[in-house]
Amino acid sequence: MHAFGFAAARTLPEALRLAAPDSAFLAGGTTLVDLMKLDVLTPDRVVDINRLPLRGIRSTRDGLRIGALERMSDVARHPAVHPVIAEALAQSASPQLRTMASIGGNLLQRTRCGYFRDVHTPCNRRQPGSGCPARTGDNRTHAVLGTSDACVATHPSDLAVALVALDASVRLVSHAGERLVRLAAFYRLPGDTPQVENDLRPGELITEVVVPRRPWARHSTYVKVRDRSSYEFALASAAVALDMRGGVIHEARVAAGGVGTVPWRLPAVEAALRGRPPTRASFEEAAASAADGARPLTENAFKVTLLKRTIVRALMSLEGGS
Amino acid sequence: MGGETPRGGGLSRRRFFGTTAAASAGVVLTTAPAPAARAADDDGAVDVAITVNGTAEKLHVDPRVTLLDALRERLGLTGTKKGCDRGQCGACTVHVDGRRVLSCLTLAATADGRKVTTIEGLADGDDLHPVQRAFVECDGFQCGFCTSGQIMSAAALLKEGHAWTDEEIREAMSGNICRCGAYPGIVEAIKTARRAD
Ligand SMILES: Cc1cc2nc3c(=O)[nH]c(=O)nc-3n(C[C@H](O)[C@H](O)[C@H](O)COP(=O)(O)OP(=O)(O)OC[C@H]3O[C@@H](n4cnc5c(N)ncnc54)[C@H](O)[C@@H]3O)c2cc1C
C-alpha cells in the first residue's frame, strides 16, 4: 500500500477543509481499503468521515431520506425503506461487509472488472489510454449495455439499481455549495473517458440519498441472479415497482443491474407495461425490448436472454401473474 | 485463551517475525496519550486508543495498518486469522462495538475509541461461550483455520436475532467461507447454541 496521511474529520466543514486534490474520504472502507491494498487507488490523504453526523433514515414530505453514512445492514432492516431497496441491500456482499459499508460508499464503489483491479494489466478506466483487455479477454461478467470501445466494465452496485428505478437523488455538498442530483444522471457512460465514472467533483461529499415519496413504489422487489446463491455480484438483476389499479398496470419502474456500465433504467419496458394486465404474456412482451442495443462480448452473450428472464421473474414474483 | 503473548515491553517472537510483514512495519506501541486532534503526527503515524477484549490499548500506528495486522502482529492476538486479506473469506471477522466486521478491511486508525472483541475475548475465562461449546459439540470445523471467524460471526448472528431456518442461517453465515466444507456442522452448532442461550 502506498503511504498516505490520515485524518479523522468531526464536522462537515472540517471534512471539506481536509479534502485535497489527491485525498479520499473513508466511510466503511470496504472499497477504498481493498483497492488501496491492490495499489489501484493511491490517495495521498485519507479523510475518515465516520464521525460526521450523516445519519438517519426518515420518511419526510419530500420522501425517504437516508444519511450517507447509514450502514447497508441498518438500511436493509429499516421499516420505512422500500422492499426493492431492502432486498437489493440484503442480497449484496456479506453480513460483515453490510455492517461496515455505508450507503454513500456503496454508490461510489468501483467495478469488479479483473483488469481494473490488477495494476499489472492495461485498463482505460484505471489508466486512460492504456487499453482494454476485457473486450477480448475474460469478459463473462462484463456489461452488454452502455459499453464503449474503451470500457465494458459492469457497474457493481445492487443498491444503485434499486435507487435508479425509484428516481432517487443524491445530495452533494462541497465548498461551492449544495446540489441535488438524480442518481440516473449522476453516473456517466464510459464513452471515451471511462475514468470519469460520475458527476462527483473533487472534494465533494454525498450527504444523503433522497427517494421521492410515492406510496405505490412499496409494491416492489429486487431479483438477483448470480453464480452462487449468496455473497456474489449479479450476472443480471432487476429492480421493479408496479402501481396496480383496477387489475391493470398503471405505472411501472424497471431497472437492471449486472448488465450495464451504469445502473440501467428501462423506460421502454416500463412504457410497454403501462395499461396491461399483470400476466406472464404482458411481462414477456414488455421485457422483450430490455436488451435492445446490447453489444455482447465473446463470453457474455447469455446475458441478453438472462436479463429478459430476470425481469420477467421479478415481475412475476411481485404480481404472481398467470 | 487470551494473554498468551505479553502486550507491552519486550520483543516477543511473534512481534519480531511480525515486523517482517510490510503492512505492519509501521506499528509501534506507545504510552503517550492520544492527542485531541485526530490527525497524523510528523512521522505520519496515528495514535489509536482501543479497548480489546476489555483491556485498554494504546497504539501508535502507520495509517496503512489494518485492524487485523494490529491485533495479530502488535497485540499478539493471533486467534483472528488472515485468509484472503481482501474481504472475501470472513476468516478475520471480529466485533467492533458489538457488530461483526472484517478486520482486514478496517484500518486500525479508524478503530480509535472503539471496543473490539476477538475470539480470545469471547470465553469467560475457561468457561467457553455457548457458540464455542456448540462448535466443539457439533463438529463445526475440520482444519480450524476459518473457525474463529465462523464463531465470531455466529455469536454476532445470535445477538442480531434473525435467521431461524437452516436456509436463513446459511445465508446469514455466507460471509464466512469454509474450504473444508464443515457447513452442516456449523449450522447445527448455531442452532444448538441458540437453544442453549
Ligand atoms: C467481497 C465483496 C463483495 C461485495 N459484494 C457486493 C454485492 O454483491 N453488491 C454490492 O452492491 N456491493 C458489493 N460489494 C461492494 C460493497 O457494497 C462496497 O464496497 C461498499 O458498499 C462501499 O461502501 P463503504 O462505505 O465501505 O465505502 P468506502 O470504501 O469507504 O468508499 C468507497 C468510495 O466512496 C468514497 N466515499 C465514501 N463515502 C463517501 C461520501 N459520503 N461522499 C463522498 N465520497 C465518499 C470513498 O472515497 C471511496 O472512493 C462487495 C464488496 C466486497 C469486498
Do residues B22 and B100 both lie within one domain?
A: no
Q: What is the CATH number of the domain that holds A27?
A: 3.30.43.10
Please list every residue in chain B whose beta carbon sits closer than 8 Å to the beta carbon of residue A36.
64
A223 lines ligand 1 (CB under 6 A): no
pLDDT at B10 over 70: no
B84 and B140 co-located in one domain: yes
Look at residue B12 in the predicted model and tell me its pLDDT.
37
Contact criterion met (CB < 8 Å) for A96 and B112: no
CA nearest neighbour of A262 among A195, A193, A165, A187? A187
Residue with the larger pLDDT of the pair A41 and B29: A41
A94 C-alpha to ligand 1 centroid (Å):
12
Tell me the mean pLDDT in the region B106-134: 97
Which residues of chain A does B63 touch, with a Cβ-Cβ cutoff of 8 Å? Answer: 4-6, 46
Task: Say if B24 falls within a structural domain.
Answer: yes
| Contacting A residues, span 207-266, partner chain B, CB-CB under 8 Å | 229-231
For a mutational test of ligand 1's pocket, the pick from A6, A31, A157, i.e. the residue with the most ligand atoms closer than 8 A to its C-beta, is A31
Q: Is residue A94 part of a domain?
A: no
Task: Answer whether B63 contacts ligand 1 (Cβ < 6 A).
Answer: no
Interface test with A, best of B27, B61, B64 (most A CBs within 10 A): B64
Q: Do residues B179 and B98 share a domain?
A: yes
Q: Among residues A75, A27, A99, which one has the least CA distance to residue B156?
A: A99
Q: Which three cell numbers stand for residue A104?
A: 454513500
pLDDT score recorded for residue B42: 64
The Cα A290–Cα A271 span in angstroms is 11
Return d(Cα A237, Cα A122) in angstroms, integer.
28
In a domain, B190, yes or no: yes
User: Which pLDDT band holds residue A298 (cuts at 50, 70, 90)?
Assistant: very high
What is the span of the domain harbouring residue B35? Answer: 10-42
Residues B150 and B90 placed together within one structural domain of the fold: yes
Question: CB B40 to CB A6 under 8 A?
Answer: yes
DSSP B154-165: HHHHHHHT---S
Give this complex's ipTM.
0.95
Average pLDDT of span B12-28: 35
Lookup: cell for B187: 449450522
Give the number of domains in chain B: 2
pTM: predicted TM-score of the whole model, two decimal places = 0.92
Chain B touched by A34 (CB under 8 Å): yes
Task: Looking at the structure, tell me whether residues B33 and B125 fall in a common domain.
Answer: no
Residue A243 lies in a domain: yes
Instruction: Give the residue, by CA position, lying nearest to ligand 1 atom 13.
Output: A93
pLDDT of residue A320: 74
Q: Which residues of A touch B23 (CB under 8 A)?
A: 1
A173 part of a folded domain: no
Enumerate residues 6+ apart whose C-beta is below 8 A from A72. Answer: A89, A92, A93, A97, A98, A99, A101, A102, A103, A106, A159
Examine the pLDDT at B21 and tell me if it is beyond 60. Answer: no
- Region B47-60 average pLDDT: 98
Nearest to B39 among A7, A30, A229 (CB): A7
* Total count of domains within chain A: 2
Residue A48 clears pLDDT 90, i.e. is over it: yes
Q: Are strands A23-26 and A45-48 parallel, antiparallel or unpaired?
A: parallel
Question: Which strands, in side-by-side order, build the sheet including A205-212?
Answer: A57-60, A63-67, A205-212, A169-174, A177-182
Asked whether B65 and B107 are in contact (CB, 8 A), the reply is yes
Backbone phi, psi, residue B32, to 5°: -70, 140
Decide if A30 is inside a domain: yes
Structural domain contains residue B93: yes
pLDDT digits (tens, 9 = 90+) for A50-77: 999 999 999 999 899 999 999 999 999 9
pLDDT of residue B11: 35
Domain-located, residue B51: no
Q: Counting runs of H as helices and runs of E as strands, what totals does chain B give? A: 6, 6
Specify if B133 maps to a domain: yes
Q: What is the pLDDT of residues B81-113, one digit of tens each?
A: 999 999 999 999 999 999 999 999 999 999 999
| Per-residue model confidence (pLDDT) at position B196 | 87
Tell me if A6 and B170 make a contact (CB, 8 A cut-off).
Answer: no
pLDDT > 70? residue A42? yes
CB contact under 8 A, B101 and A99: yes
Q: What is the pLDDT of residues A84-101, one digit of tens each?
A: 999 999 999 999 999 999
The answer to whether residue A20 neighbours chain B at the CB level (below 8 Å) is: no
pLDDT range class, residue B44, cuts 50, 70, 90: confident
Question: How would residue B41 be classed by pLDDT, with cut points 50, 70 and 90?
Answer: low
Per-residue confidence (pLDDT) for residue A252, from 0 to 100: 98
- Closest atom of ligand 1 to A106 CA is 21
- What's the rounded Cα separation, in Å, for the pair A288 and B132? 52
Q: Which helix (H) or strand (E) holds A265?
A: strand A264-265
* Cβ neighbours around A2 below 10 Å, total: 10
CATH number at residue B91: 1.10.150.120
DSSP element (H, E) containing A205? strand A205-212
Q: Which domain holds residue A13?
A: 1-51
Ligand 1 centroid distance, CA of A232 (Å): 14
* A81 occurs within a structural domain: no
Query: From ligand 1's centre to the CA of A27, what distance in Å?
Result: 8
User: pLDDT band at residue B40, thresholds of 50, 70 and 90?
Assistant: low
**Residue A79 within a domain:** no
Q: What is the CATH number of the domain that holds A256?
A: 3.30.390.50
For residue A37, being part of any structural domain is answered with yes
How high does pLDDT run on average in chain B? 84
Percentage of chain A beyond pLDDT 70 is 99
pLDDT score of A183: 98
In this prediction, residue A39 carries a pLDDT of: 98
